[in-house]
Structure 1
Amino acid sequence: MTRIFALGLVALLAACGADGEPERPEKGEPAFGVTLSGTAEMGISG
């Protein structure tokens, strides 16, 4: 029971911005310089 309480407390603190005020990201730049691209296909080939 103590572990569940501790995990819930950690999740609550992480969700409320316990590490400080939220900072707005700069516009025009991808976050951390990461860009994802690609394709996905699905079906039956014979």
Structure 2
Amino acid sequence: MTRILPLLPLLALLAACGADGAPEAPTPTPGVSITGEVRAGVVGKL
């Protein structure tokens, strides 16, 4: 029994890998998308 105890964490780790299937990329959440070009500056005479 004492030889099995150190192996339990390893067994748990291996059991958790791939338990729910192959990894999938996260899907982006829908939302507002803003694209474009902006210029800002100061114009004046010295």
TM-score tier, shorter chain, comes to 0.3 to 0.5
Relative to its length, the structure with more helix (as a share) is 1
Given the two structures, how large is their TM-score scaled by the length of structure 1? 0.37
